[in-house]
Structure 1
Amino acid sequence: MRATEPAAVGILRITGAVCLVLMPLVMWLANRSAPLMLGLAATAFLGAGLLAQPASAVLARLRALLATPLALTVAAFLAWALVSISWSHKVVPSLEFWAELVLPMAFALAIAVSGQWRPTPALLRALAATIILAAGLLVFELASGLSQRMALGTGKMMGFIFNRPTIVLFLLAVPVVHALWSRPSSPTLDRLLAAILTLAVATLVIRAESGAARLGFAVLTLCWLLASVAPRLASALVASVFVLTMAIAPVLGPSAERFLPSMILNRFNAMTGQARIDIWQSFGEVARARPLAGAGFGTSATMHEHPVAAQVSPEHRTLLAASHPHDMPLQAWAETGVVGAGLLTLAGLLLLARLRRLPATEQAPRLALFAAAFSIATVGHGAWQGWWIAGLGAAILLFCRDAAARQGESHG
């Protein structure tokens, strides 16, 4: 079928691949641009899919994917989040946050069901090259004190503006390194490229101001090593820590205040040390005040203006203006209550159950990325930010090599 397909199909397929390959460089230039690049790629791949085959084939793949327990659970969370907006104090901004979460998920889904997504060796090599280049540019800018951007007079002149691209590059690098290194026929040059990519991203993570990225890198390394030698133990450990972290989120602040040694806190800067614990305490009081349904999806950005703020102790009320809790489980609890947090916990466990069925060599990098991404989400950014969801979606797509290979065979 490939020989008789319209020329536009090949052009659109290449366009989609180029959009994904350029994502690291565009994130370096504009640190919230990942959803845009993923959306452009989705448009191209879906267009190619609809030109190359009947729309019914795309819809059949979509129905099959959405019928899985994991997809149904995620859909249930999104539906509950949408319902919870009805008790938000600012409905329109909450709807905007919901759209910011859903759109990158829809883009990744569109690419997956298009029938055109094939992370070929050439695409992986090109993506590795752009990640290395973007990492080098980021390190150079950080080392030079952002002098280039200061000269241009663009944006905020603070090193933390590179935290988002650092995390996205880290997410994308994991499946690319695994693919380049682990293929049975991997040439020496591919393994050399994988090694250079690992070194480049590690250097960026160490040099950047993102403590969340450094935590994620450490968790990734330890989990990947453990999963390579004891996959069942690693899976059980990750699942246990995941469930425990989701469960204790409403009391995370008091627990960290009581049990986290000061010698550890003192190693972090002001916004990742005691101030972070104070924020957790503030939003934890919100979660405990509205334990069943939460304050409404997307309300964290202006939680200090929500009526629930009156139920928070005066000493913790100020930090409700911190935009978000800097902890995904706590944000889920504060905004969507035990219903939303429970659905997300179930979705995570269903995903981990799927990973357990993979061969150890394929399970290890995926499990490690799950653990790393979750650890980043528990200390870093807002849970529903589009650049984060788009980065995760792109990383997941890059792990879908087996499905892509089957699609390629069906088109041969």
Structure 2
Amino acid sequence: MNQTSSVATRPAAGSVPARLAAIGAALLLALPLAMWIANRSAPLMLALAAAAFCAAALAEEGWRPSLHRAAALLRGPIGLALSGFLLWSLVTIAWSHRPLASLAAWGEFALPLTCGVAIAASGRFRPGPALGRALAIVVAVAAVMMMAELATGLAIRRALDIGRQVTYMFNRPVLTCLILAPVALAALPWQGPSRRWSIALAVPVVLAVAWACLGSESGAAGFGLLVMAAAAGLALLAPRLAWAAVTLGFVATMMLAPVVGRLGDAALPAALHERLANSHSRDRVDIWLSFGEATLARPIRGAGFGTSPTLDRHPVAAEVSPPRRALLAVGHPHNAPLQAWTETGAIGVALLTVAGLALLMRLRSLPGRDLAPRLGLFAAAFAVAAVAHGAWQGWWIAGLTMAALWLFRLPVGSDTGDRAA
């Protein structure tokens, strides 16, 4: 995730392009706070930031350089694999039972990715140490504000009668803070005279995010936090071993997703399900069994992108055994790899696996201190996606896109230091 060589020239301070780029950076910084206020707002913030950065690039150098940079990004292995998945997903809508709903789901998935490419191609997003510190502060503040609201029983929202006044409404913003926390830590300068200030800032960030992950109702956030800590810690101690473990886990989870319900049913005893009752482990296994049957009914092409929300009304439901058919109405399988299998089949899963492996290959040679936040983020995000929300939800894709953008722009190895990020 080191920076590309084709970087645009920096506009003069105070110029229109510089001001537009500053607006774009401010919008990205505001994303965690926006998610605290409105828990689906990440795609909007990313889109507004993309518009600002693209306007800055257009004002400074016209559209051709940005177009060339976008083409270079899309020609890489990750770009080709993700583009192929987007195209194949669009094709699968042809056999969806609700094409318009599937197309809307495809747009929700594609928009944040497109905005990420646009921001990267603009060449105007340059997160220096000041922005890294600002991101760390914003993530910590957002996490603390969510926990403060939970502690007061959402008193302010109830008094103002705004929004959905349910405690699980913070699950999405807590997960957003989780995936942005390693980005904030990696963006801080860890060498030179600023190291002491970075440590002083990192401690409250870690404590605030851990508090939010473990104290909120999001069991997935707590699970993701533990996975992140384990992967990042092992990467610091044994980088190659950590990389191999995460890579093997990623490939195995992608490949075994259609039978994850059977594996969980056989491996997890009833006593363990009782201890994990708050995490609904038994319910998840039953849902995985149902969607697994639907996947195996159409293993190559899938049921069509975006069909999970109403899979019980899809023709594939008739091929699922009656005891399992009812759970196809839950909305999604709470497992992103399984959802990819169910909707896009082996072809879509192969493209996503290639994209993930291409990303992991870019991380393989990084030293431990650079690998730790990146591998921790990858492992935690994949772990959360494998047990929690729908795979294509825009807020989740937007958060991951922002995290990838930021880490992509950070220098690695000997380039890190006070001029890091």
TM-score range normalised by the length of the shorter chain: over 0.9
2:323 counterpart residue number:
315
2:372 counterpart residue number:
364
Q: In the alignment, is the contact (CA less than 8 A) between 1:6 and 1:52 conserved in 2?
A: no
Q: Distance in 2 between matches of 1:176 and 1:3?
A: 25
Q: Distance in 1 between matches of 2:296 and 2:407?
A: 38
1:61 counterpart residue number:
69
Q: Distance in 1 between matches of 2:399 and 2:64?
A: 29
2:127 aligns with one of 79, 97, 119? 119
How far the C-alpha of 1:255 sits from its partner, in A, is 1.2
- Residue 146 (structure 1) aligned with residue 141 (structure 2): no
How far the C-alpha of 1:194 sits from its partner, in A, is 1.3
- Residue 43 (structure 1) aligned with residue 51 (structure 2): yes
Q: Which amino acid aligns with 1:231?
A: P
1:325 aligns with one of 316, 333, 337? 333
Moved more, 147-156 or 289-298: 147-156
Q: Distance in 1 between matches of 2:195 and 2:132?
A: 13
- Residue 388 (structure 1) aligned with residue 400 (structure 2): no
TM-score (norm 1): 0.94
Q: Distance in 1 between matches of 2:270 and 2:185?
A: 37
Q: Secondary structure at the match of 1:399?
A: helix
Q: Distance in 2 between matches of 1:303 and 1:29?
A: 32
Q: Which amino acid aligns with 2:31?
A: M
1:264 aligns with one of 266, 272, 275? 272
- Residue 222 (structure 1) aligned with residue 195 (structure 2): no
1:196 aligns with one of 204, 216, 220? 204
1:409 counterpart residue number:
none
RMSD of Structure 2 on Structure 1 (CA) = 1.9
How far the C-alpha of 1:270 sits from its partner, in A, is 5.1
Q: Which amino acid aligns with 2:320?
A: V
Q: Distance in 1 between matches of 2:390 and 2:252?
A: 20
TM-score (norm 2): 0.92
- Residue 175 (structure 1) aligned with residue 175 (structure 2): no
Q: In the alignment, is the contact (CA less than 8 A) between 1:5 and 1:52 conserved in 2?
A: no
Q: In the alignment, is the contact (CA less than 8 A) between 1:245 and 1:329 conserved in 2?
A: yes
How far the C-alpha of 1:359 sits from its partner, in A, is 2.7
Q: Distance in 2 between matches of 1:27 and 1:370?
A: 21
1:284 aligns with one of 284, 292, 315? 292
How far the C-alpha of 1:185 sits from its partner, in A, is 4.8
Q: In the alignment, is the contact (CA less than 8 A) between 1:84 and 1:297 conserved in 2?
A: yes
Q: Which amino acid aligns with 2:99?
A: V
- Residue 102 (structure 1) aligned with residue 110 (structure 2): yes
How far the C-alpha of 1:75 sits from its partner, in A, is 0.8
Deviations 1:219-276 (A, max 9, x none): 1101111111211111111111111111111111121111023343223345632111
Q: Give the % identical residues.
A: 49
Deviations 1:310-353 (A, max 9, x none): 11111111111111100001000000111111111111111111
Q: Cα 1:396–1:183, aligned 2, differ >3 Å: closer, same or farther?
A: farther
How far the C-alpha of 1:200 sits from its partner, in A, is 0.6
Q: Distance in 2 between matches of 1:70 and 1:2?
A: 27
- Residue 252 (structure 1) aligned with residue 260 (structure 2): yes
Q: Cα 1:6–1:365, aligned 2, differ >3 Å: closer, same or farther?
A: closer
Q: Distance in 2 between matches of 1:185 and 1:52?
A: 34
How far the C-alpha of 1:184 sits from its partner, in A, is 4.5
Q: Secondary structure at the match of 1:266?
A: helix
Q: Distance in 1 between matches of 2:227 and 2:364?
A: 19
Moved more, 388-397 or 53-62: 53-62
Q: Which amino acid aligns with 1:261?
A: P
Moved more, 262-271 or 217-226: 262-271
Q: Distance in 2 between matches of 1:185 and 1:238?
A: 34
Q: Secondary structure at the match of 2:163?
A: coil
How far the C-alpha of 1:287 sits from its partner, in A, is 0.3
Q: Which amino acid aligns with 1:175?
A: V
How far the C-alpha of 1:29 sits from its partner, in A, is 0.7
1:13 counterpart residue number:
21
Q: Distance in 1 between matches of 2:83 and 2:152?
A: 45
Deviations 1:182-208 (A, max 9, x none): 345534222211111111101111111
Deviations 1:345-372 (A, max 9, x none): 1111111111103233212211111111
How far the C-alpha of 1:147 sits from its partner, in A, is 2.6
How far the C-alpha of 1:70 sits from its partner, in A, is 1.5
Q: In the alignment, is the contact (CA less than 8 A) between 2:96 and 2:304 conserved in 1?
A: yes
Moved more, 2-11 or 290-299: 2-11
1:410 counterpart residue number:
none
Report runs of 4+ in structure 1 exceeding 6 Å deviation: none
Q: Distance in 1 between matches of 2:94 and 2:13?
A: 48
How far the C-alpha of 1:49 sits from its partner, in A, is 1.0
Q: Which amino acid aligns with 1:393?
A: T
Q: Secondary structure at the match of 1:118?
A: coil
Matches within 5 A, 1:77-92: 77-92=85-100
How far the C-alpha of 1:13 sits from its partner, in A, is 1.0
Q: In the alignment, is the contact (CA less than 8 A) between 2:47 and 2:115 conserved in 1?
A: yes
- Residue 294 (structure 1) aligned with residue 302 (structure 2): yes
1:160 counterpart residue number:
168
